[in-house]
Chains A and B, each alone.
Chain A
Amino acid sequence: MKALMSLGALIGVAGLLLLGGMVFDVVPSTTIRLVEGYMPIQMLLEVACYVIGFTGLSYIMGAMGMAIPRFWQGIGFWVFLMLYLKFRVYPPIPFSVRAMYGTVGLVTVFMWVSANEEDWNKFKQPIMNVLDAQTGMKRLLRYAYLVAIPILVGGFSFNAMMPKSEEPIELRTVHPAPPASTKVHGKTYTLQTSQNPYRVNPEGKYDQEFSNANIVEQGMGRLMKPNANPWDDKNQGYLKYVREGGEIFFQNCHFCHGDNLNGRGLHAFAFNPIPANFTDPGTIAQLQETFIFWRVAKGGIGLPNEGFPWASVMPPWEQHLTVDEIWKVVLFEYWHTGYYPRTWD
């Protein structure tokens, strides 16, 4: 048990040193990389490692007769969480999300330190000591808090109320609900039932399973499947259409959406917000193919009321591309990102 706890303590110390380095900008946040494709679970595992580390540290310190008071354990864990979110995770997390996590952190720390009477008494003891102010030092501290807390609250209120020069926060609806149908080049498409005419098997029939088997693999590398290279001239049918879609994409779309389809094209950072990142699991992977068809055809100007504040400069591509070209480019986007279009069956 002691050996395990010592190992935990070692992890805890190493973790704290690393985090300290990141806070003081001695160690870059990217020292331990967040690996694409595994980032979300990696972050949770890292925090779990810290918790194991803190358990070990607490145990060892207790065994050495230098137990950390419960009050400081609670405060310390919350401070750690905030520092981790601010300095470890990159790119930077917006304040609104850190505030949400911070509040959850506070609540959970409270739940932990007050889960039973013994812990709760231990936690509140330092607070009660200051409030009781039996010694001169405690009395001094009490007066200091009496002055400092209103000043702090006042300072926060002042900061919150002070007019700011930065642009206001926007609650943008990135994927507004589409219309039931859309008319492109004189033909009406029902979004719930229409299909991409180029998502076909060698027999020429609509076949999503066939196309799914030929898209690139997700995760690290995004490798093409064997014998599924659209740029092989011998390939016909689905892969040929993917190639044609790719050509259209690189002639028209990649300037903004990027050659990796990650929204970081040549012109991307001239726009705010930058163009959609198709490799994110929350964009085309969440949507029906017909939704993409509608968005490409109608562009930013065709966004419905719900798409407020209509922050999209994408042109209505129906003015530049044929219906077939739009379907092919949509086909290519799904193939390249390795995502499957959403279906409802």
Chain B
Amino acid sequence: MGLLAGKRVFSIMALCMMVGLLLLPIVVALPSPAIGGDAPAGDAAKKDGDKVEKGRDVYYKTEGIVVGAPAPKTTDGPKDYPRYNFESRVLLWFANQQHLYYGSFVLAVPIFCMIIEFMGVVTKDKALAKRYDQLAYDFIKISLTAYSLTAILGGILIFTFLTLYPAFFSYLSGIFRPVMHIYALMFVAESGTLYIYYYGWDKMKEGFLKWIHLSMSVILNVIGTLLMFLANSWIGFMMSPAGVDEQGRYLGNIWHVIHTALWNPLNLHRILGNMAFGGGVVAAYAAYKFLASKTDEDRAHYDWMGYIAMALGVAFLIPLPFAGYWLMREVYAYRQQMGITLMGGLLAWLFIIQATMIGILFLSTNYYLWQAMGRMRGAEKYQRYIKYLVFILACGYMVFITPHTMVMTPAELKAMGGQQHPVLGNYGVMSAKNGGINVIITTTVLSFVWYMRGNKVSTVSWAKFGNIFMGVFFACAYFNIIFLAVYGYYIPANVRVGLSVPQVATTLSCLFFMFALNSVMMKGAKQMGPIEWGKISARSQYALIMLATAFTWMMGLMGYIRSSVRLFWHVNEIMRDNSPWAYTHTVGFAANMISANVLFFWISILFVFWLGSLTAKKVPVESRAGIPGSVPQPAASH
């Protein structure tokens, strides 16, 4: 009893310490706007009277006292751009991308841990609860090794900035001085919390202590998310500066500098993106372990792990295009030029590649689910209809990836009789593309619904009506999405943009209503047989690896697009990039660079996985053999 009470006290103290760590940076930062930024200027204002120089915020249009130096006007030379005999931008690109990959991974995985640990705590099935707990522990173990690498890569990134772009970094750190200090302290808080969370796992595995442990994961994720928000403020400032005047002089309001036009859309997009990416990486890890497994038991475990990670990743992938849409909308609202450069001009072809990658993500997900139906008895009834889903997906995908301005030889251009193809050119505009992606997502929802009811037969009295209702609902959804896509050609552009709302609403209705209805229908359903975990084709696991690779590639691509939309500016319209590399790379070079980054990341993360496997914790036998036959059966855990 005394030991338990001691543990409780220890746990509560640990939790308090985490809260303290979370609050520490805020407490430290509180005086900074008062005395670090505004106050000297204010004092100076009192002393010098009229000599105070005021500036106008380029974004908020408010007046403020100038407290910073103007953005440096750099020149191409060793002073502003010291270099090796190599393109500095490429070095920075590499360092940045690798740091971002690992950063995303270590921010996403604790969120998964939190969700999975919570599922374990609330699950009544003890064997299943242990499996969830073990899974969460496995995740955080992988994350811990990756965490060190993230910090190392962050250091490399800062050194790269300092040594290759000193003028720019000096300007940025001058403006974000307090934010950077808070960031560093938050990093300390994140590390402390993570270690307590990880090393306290075994000590706090039951009862009240488990809830304390779960609360720690919440704090860990709050700190992680705040860290990301702060880092986002720097790139938000580079794209859409605020809080400075036209010369780039800081006007003393740190909130304006952080809260730029694109900060919030970037925050949301990155949270969802990190989660989808994290899910993909863990699913790929599980797939790799599945393929390398020697026993049925291991195959069952990693099949289940892959499924959970995929489901979590896809759950965040589905809203991701809508968050991206919001981001683009805000980009257009901020600067029309920037929006056109992105989606209609110089970078438009990269968006076609992005569309291709998004399509691959959804195709892989659907394929995995169809394969997964193979491990359920009773799912055969849906198999024969899969070919129609393939057809619908293919049509949506082809429309989605059709470029408006096609790549063609001059001879083809003449034969076509114009820059736009009269038939396919129509697929190249947003109206058709919105239709295409919504058809793809709705079909993915349909695949999920089929998967969820694969081995079950509804026993509710209104099952027939429910099935007909669901069929009609999906048919109407497809009709509505396609009708709106066609109708979009006949109305003004501003109304057309608004049409995406009912299209998205239709897709989300399918997602929420159909999932809810299906769950109600399948409550107490007759099971045709258990889910035979581990009895899934190897192709499904390659689909998971494909999913993860596509996530990684797309993340690299979108990061490149977001960064290169500034064209020849370090800070958009404030600080010009005068290095010899202030031009936009060719599509081919960018694609090769992204591929190299993806390849490096996967090789290095394989190393991380290997390191993780060296300290593999033996899984308690009872948690892996809940059901006779040694293959675990969490059949109800769709």
Contact = CB atoms under 8 A, between A and B. Distances in A.
Interface of A: 34, 36, 39-41, 43-44, 47-48, 51, 89, 91-97, 100-101, 104-105, 107-108, 111-112, 114-120, 166-180, 191-192, 208, 212, 218-219, 263-264, 269, 272-274, 276-277, 280-283, 285-286, 288, 306, 340-345
B414 to A, nearest CB: 7
Contacts of A276: 419
A105 B493 CA distance: 32
Interface stretch (B130-138, B242-250, B404-412, B607-615): B404-412
A277 B425 CA distance: 12
Interface stretch (B73-81, B276-284, B331-339): B331-339
A97 to B, nearest CB: 5
Of listed B410, B414, B422, residue having the most chain A CB within 10 A: B422
Contact of A263 (B336, B394, B418): B418
Contacts of B410: 166-167, 170, 272
A91 B346 contact: no
A43 B489 CA distance: 17
Contact of A344 (B332, B338, B489): B332
A43 B398 CA distance: 12
The 8 A-B residue pairs with the shortest CB-CB distance in the complex, in nearest-first order: A340-B492, A94-B408, A342-B493, A96-B407, A177-B337, A177-B340, A40-B426, A108-B394
Contacts of B494: 342-345
B418 A282 contact: no
Of listed A111, A218, A342, residue having the most chain B CB within 10 A: A111
Contacts of A282: 404, 420, 425-426, 428-429
B370 A115 contact: yes
B412 A94 contact: yes
Interface residues of B, number: 78
Contact of A91 (B415, B426, B429, B490): B415
A208 B332 CA distance: 21
Given A40-B432, A111-B390, A286 B493 contact: yes
Contact of A174 (B380, B391, B405, B491): B405
A116 B359 CA distance: 21
Given A116-B374, A272-B414, A306-B346, A169 B409 contact: yes
A264 B383 contact: no
Contact of A175 (B345, B399, B427, B493): B345
B460 interface: no
Given A116-B386, A344-B494, A191 B422 contact: no
8 contacts: A40-B423, A91-B415, A91-B421, A101-B398, A166-B410, A168-B409, A177-B338, A344-B494
Nearest to A34: B423
B13 interface: no
A92 B340 contact: no
A173 B335 CA distance: 19
B486 A41 contact: yes
B408 to A, nearest CB: 4
B401 interface: yes
Contact of A192 (B336, B411, B427): B336
A117 B493 contact: no
A115 B382 CA distance: 11
Contacts of B335: 180
A281 B426 contact: yes
A95 B410 CA distance: 12
Nearest to B340: A177
Contacts of B407: 94, 96-97, 169, 171
B429 A281 contact: yes
Contacts of B491: 340
Of listed A40, A180, A264, residue having the most chain B CB within 10 A: A40
A92 B423 contact: no
B597 interface: no
Given A115-B390, A116-B371, 8 more contacts: A40-B423, A94-B416, A95-B408, A176-B340, A178-B337, A192-B336, A264-B417, A272-B414
A283 B425 CA distance: 10
A94 B393 contact: no
A39 B408 CA distance: 21
B363 interface: yes
Nearest to B482: A41
Nearest to B387: A112
Contact of A117 (B403, B412, B537): B537
Nearest to A41: B486
A127 to B, nearest CB: 15
A179 to B, nearest CB: 7
Interface in B183-225: none
A171 B341 contact: no
A29 to B, nearest CB: 12
Interface in B450-470: none
A272 B397 contact: no
Given A97-B424, A104-B397, A340-B492, A286 B344 contact: yes
Interface string B80-92: 0000000000000
Given A172-B405, A177-B338, A282-B404, A92 B422 contact: no
Of listed A108, A166, A167, A272, residue having the most chain B CB within 10 A: A108
B509 to A, nearest CB: 23
A273 B411 CA distance: 10
B493 A343 contact: yes
A208 to B, nearest CB: 8
B104 interface: no
A77 to B, nearest CB: 10
B627 interface: no
Interface in B349-387: 349, 356, 359, 363, 366-367, 370-371, 373-374, 380, 383, 386-387
Nearest to A105: B394
A221 to B, nearest CB: 14
Contacts of A208: 492
B489 to A, nearest CB: 5
A105 B415 CA distance: 24
A174 B413 CA distance: 14
A83 to B, nearest CB: 16
A226 B209 CA distance: 78
B395 interface: yes
B402 interface: yes
B539 interface: yes
A344 B403 CA distance: 24
B587 interface: yes
A90 to B, nearest CB: 8
A274 B383 contact: no
Given A94-B406, A179-B337, A89 B344 contact: no
B337 A180 contact: yes
Nearest to B394: A108
Interface string B535-546: 001010000000
Interface string B6-21: 0000000000000000
A25 B424 CA distance: 23
Nearest to B495: A340
B406 A107 contact: no
Given A166-B409, A191-B336, A283 B345 contact: no
Contacts of B417: 91, 264, 274
B240 to A, nearest CB: 14
Contacts of A272: 410, 413-414
Nearest to A273: B419
A76 B339 CA distance: 43
A203 B560 CA distance: 50
A166 to B, nearest CB: 6
Given A175-B344, A286-B429, A107 B336 contact: no
